[in-house]
Chain A
């Protein structure tokens, strides 16, 4: 039986409707769907705020200053990310890696500052009923400054921690994504060391004692990805990774004013 052979050529494919490569379109579609997740959380936060009267205003000048530095970290990380994309486009591997590393440093600074803020709020009695037991948090104070908020307006802590935890998770995933793109398989041992060190150093009563194992899950996923498709990431990959990173920055531009600035405590 004869088989008809068709000539295969690049020209046989239609050009992209959007004039760009499919990986980038895929990331844009993911970001569009993820923006709806954050949109729903922000709408839920605002809804809670509208129907709760009076809404707590727990954020002192210290918290606002901390959140402002966190915002500056994210904005600066977006700039270093853009510079990483440019370096990748001119095939400058060293500077691509350097700028990606700078982006990771800013992202990590954001996570650490946010973690400190969380620990302080929890230490003063702000808690989500039920989750305290689940996470084994022992340092919340029944007589702390925010204990009354936990008791009288529990939806504040639920909305606040729910929204900011989701964002912090995205930033953490983003830092790991950047690490894989920048260092490939060499990132895995570094991530393993950070994960083990964090798991050992964070005490049992701390809110991050169990959530820190997100790093372990990230390590597993990164190892599988690098094992299944070991490749030298190119300018396309850096640009697509950059889209994700700018998105977490973008989401924070709404969380910062809606959550922090609209709940400022004037002493």
Chain B
């Protein structure tokens, strides 16, 4: 029988992660509401911030950082690969519509 993850030495790091997530959210809100960047650049910046936030949630709150490397990499690579495939399905067509005005 496997024990639950008992890797934690202190709860402090989780409060730091929570604080970091709130600060990143505040940055997103300020950037979005003040429209600091042009839409495409804004999308890139917000997505980068979202990926950082999701990495913190998956790594610390979901404890994936403390799991065995095989599980870690298998999950990350397989899900990421699916998203890459979705990307190639969706966006080339949307791009074609924008370029040629096809409906």
| Contact A19-B33, Cβ < 8 Å, known A50-B95, A246-B57 | no
Interface residues of A in 60-103 (CB under 8 A from B): 61, 64, 68, 71-72, 75-76, 78-79, 81-83, 85-86, 88-89
Q: Within residues 26 to 74 of chain B, which ones have a CB less than 8 A from any CB in chain A?
A: 28-29, 31-33, 35, 39, 42-43, 46-47, 49-50, 53-54, 57-58, 61-63, 67-68, 70-71
Q: Once the chains bind, are A71 and B25 in contact (CB under 8 Å)?
A: yes
Chain B: interface residue total (CB-CB under 8 A) = 52
Tell me the minimal C-beta distance from B25 to chain A in angstroms.
5
B67: A residues at CB distance < 8 A? 18-20
A162 near B: Cβ within 8 Å?
A: no
Question: Shortest beta-carbon distance, B60 to chain A, in Å?
Answer: 8
Please state if B14 and A18 are interface contacts (CB–CB under 8 Å).
no
Task: Give A20 to B66 CA distance when docked, in angstroms.
Answer: 11
Question: Which residues of the other chain, B, contact A51 by a CB distance below 8 angstroms?
Answer: 94, 97-98
The yes or no answer to A17 lying at the interface (CB within 8 A) is yes
Measured CB to CB, the nearest residue on chain A to B72 is: A18
Chain A residues numbered 17-59 whose CB sits less than 8 Å from any CB in chain B: 17-21, 25, 28, 32, 35-36, 39-40, 43-44, 46-47, 50-51, 53
Q: SS class of chain A's interface: helix, strand, loop or mixed?
A: helix
| Secondary structure dominating the interface of B | helix
The answer on a CB contact under 8 Å between A82 and B58 is: no
The reply to whether A50 and B91 contact each other, CB–CB distance below 8 Å, is yes
A81 to B2, CA, bound (A): 21
Residue numbers in A under 8 Å from B94 (CB-CB): 46-47, 50-51
